[in-house]
Structures are given as structure tokens and as C-alpha cells.
Amino acid sequence: MDKNKAKSLLSDVRNYLDITWEDEAGDEKLIGIIQRGSAYLQRYASRQLPFDEGTHERSLLLDYCRYARSGALDEFAKNYQTDLLTFRNDEAVRDVNDGKE
């Protein structure tokens, strides 16, 4: 995910994390977290993930950001194992239906 796309998600991530104060350095850190989270989730899909409102990938990205910001990223994969597996399976089914498999 490029920086502009990450910036477009920044206000939603800030809202999800209950960040109501202005902090430019914190925002830059969050943009990096968004980009890393996007890359992490992108490994589960063979298509470019849009992270649109209401999608499973967006929900996972928001939770990834929450864990990363809390310094508990090592717990994310363990706590979201079922969600990540479901996401991977959904993507595999999408690929089969789209004729990519």
C-alpha cells in the first residue's frame, strides 16, 4: 500500500483507536503501521486488497493496527488465527471462482 492510500485510512484508524488529539509524529507512525499491516494481510490474497469500508480485510487491518500500536503485535496472529484462516480460505474460494486456481 502506498503512503497516500495509508493516509486515506488514517482518520478511520485514529477513530478506531480512539485517538482524538493531534500528533503529527504519531500520525506518521500510524501510517507506517497501516502500510505494514496492509503488506501483512496482502500475503493472504492474490489480488490487490482495497480495504474498503465493511470488508473483512479492513476489519483485520484495524485490529492489526490496534495490536501494533499497543506493542502486542506478536499476539495478533495467535488471537486472530481463526479470522486469518477464514480470510485466506475466502480468498482461495474467490480465486477458484475467478478461474485463477
Query: DSSP state, 61?
Result: H
Return the C-alpha cell found at 51.
Answer: 480495504
Could you tell me if 35 and 3 are in contact, meaning their C-beta atoms sit under 8 angstroms apart? Answer: yes
pLDDT at 101 over 70: no
Q: How far apart are CA 25 and CA 49, in angstroms?
A: 27
Q: DSSP E strands: which ranges in 1-101? A: none
Structure confidence by residue, pLDDT tens digits, 63-86: 999 999 999 999 999 999 999 999
Q: Which amino acid is at 65?
A: C
Which of 92, 96, 6, 79 is closest to 44 using CA atoms?
Answer: 92
State residue 98's pLDDT score. Answer: 85
What residues make up the domain containing 43? 3-97
How many domains does the chain contain in total?
1
Structure confidence by residue, pLDDT tens digits, 41-56: 999 988 899 999 999 9
Q: C-alpha angle with apex 60: 39 to 65, nearest 5 degrees?
A: 70
3-class secondary structure, 2: coil
Mean pLDDT across the stretch 78-95? 94
**pTM above 0.85?**
yes
CA-based Rg of the chain, rounded to a whole angstrom? Answer: 14
Per-residue confidence band for 40, with pLDDT thresholds at 50, 70 and 90 = very high
